[in-house]
Amino acid sequence: MTRPSPIRGPLSLLLIGGTSEIALTLATTLAERHELHVVLAARPGRRRDSADGMLTSLGCDVESIDFDAQELDRSLRGLGHLFDGLVVDVAVVAQGVLPDQDLLESNPQAAGRVCTINYTSAVGVGLLLADRMVGQGRGVIVALSSVAAMRPRNANYVYGSTKAGLDAFYTGLRDRLHDTAVRVLVVRPGHVHTRMTQGLTPAPFAVGPEAVADAIVARLDVAGDGPVWVPAILGPVMGILGLLPAALFRQLAGEPASQRPLGKQATR
């Protein structure tokens, strides 16, 4: 049996959804410890250019490739070509949107697009990453899940369902790869203060993206592939909430179906 070892030395870091604030904060944190080659897999535009410039200013070697979760076939081909010429040490699956629940209830087509971005594309990406990392003999896949995956609420059940699917997929992928040199880390943050959650009332135990990045880096530095709760207290808290009867859980959730202006959605 081959078991993975902690991350050491220079790193190549692939950020899928490369303009994600959490993903970029992770890159910034890693750049303080490692010589870093970063691949930004994201849609071309101002935000990707800004991320490139920021990481370059930190001394990272940066390259960008096009990735659009709604054009999965083409995007997966691009990721496959990337692995033809690069050994990827860490890949972060960070593409995602947090939509307005009220809008989705009157627009099933928009709900379908959310599922494509948040879940369907993550499955395709995960299978490709697993195949290529097993082939190269090492690697860590970091999948950004959410506590919303554990028990979706009436205010965000479409989003929560996509995260539940993502979480289940990467948990299964983790178990499938357990006897290889590839690790899968399923990260379950609570409310994170980013542009995606701007305007929402913070839930208990809210954190900044730096806390998520620190938790991921801490896990990269040790062997093991258990879930990463951010903050750690959310693990036992969600265990308790998962046992509550539905009526009591609805009462505790106690929030309107949406806290966002209609039509607004943001990326992580």
pLDDT at 96 over 60: yes
Give the residues across from 238 on adjacent strands: none
pLDDT of res. 89: 97
pLDDT at 6 over 80: no
Non-local (6+) Cβ contacts of 71 within 8 A are: none
Q: Residue 69 in contact with residue 40, Cβ under 8 Å?
A: no
Q: What is the pTM of this model?
A: 0.86
Greater confidence, 222 or 61?
A: 61
Kindly state the percentage of the chain with pLDDT values over 70: 82
| Pairing state between β 97-98 and 266-267 | antiparallel
pLDDT at 98 over 50: yes
Greater confidence, 108 or 246?
A: 108
What six digits make up the tokens of 162? 């996509």
Residue with tokens 């627009």: 107
Dihedral of CA 82/141/221/63: which sign? positive
Integer Cα distance of 17 and 4 in angstroms:
25
What six digits make up the tokens of 39? 């691949």
pLDDT at 27 over 60: yes
pLDDT at 151 over 80: no
Q: Specify whether 159 is catalytic.
A: yes
- The pLDDT-based confidence of 235 (bands split at 50, 70, 90) is confident
Question: Three-class SS of residue 88?
Answer: coil
Q: What mean pLDDT, rounded, does the chain reach?
A: 86
Rank 75-79, 101-105, 207-211 by mean pLDDT and report only the highest: 75-79
What six digits make up the tokens of 37? 């080659």
pLDDT of res. 263: 37
pLDDT of res. 203: 63
The catalytic residue among 119, 157, 159, 170 is: 159
Q: Residue 207 in contact with residue 22, Cβ under 8 Å?
A: no
By the 10 Å C-beta count (0-12 exposed, 13-18 middle, 19+ buried), 10 is classed as exposed
- The pLDDT-based confidence of 196 (bands split at 50, 70, 90) is low
- The pLDDT-based confidence of 128 (bands split at 50, 70, 90) is very high
pLDDT of res. 1: 44
Identify which of 144, 100, 151, 101 has the alpha carbon closest to the alpha carbon of residue 119.
144
Identify which of 203, 184, 202 has the alpha carbon closest to the alpha carbon of residue 90.
184
- Reported as half-sphere exposure (CB side, CA atoms, 13 A), residue 250 has a value of 5
pLDDT of res. 256: 45
DSSP assignment letter at 183 = E
Non-local (6+) Cβ contacts of 97 within 8 A are: 114, 117, 118, 196, 265, 266, 267, 268
pLDDT of res. 267: 46
Integer Cα distance of 21 and 127 in angstroms:
24
Integer Cα distance of 59 and 36 in angstroms:
8
51-60, 75-84, 184-193: range with lowest mean pLDDT: 184-193
What is the mean predicted confidence (pLDDT) over 258-267? 39
Distance between alpha carbon 1 and the CA centroid of its chain, in Å?
28
pLDDT of res. 241: 65
Greater confidence, 248 or 39?
A: 39
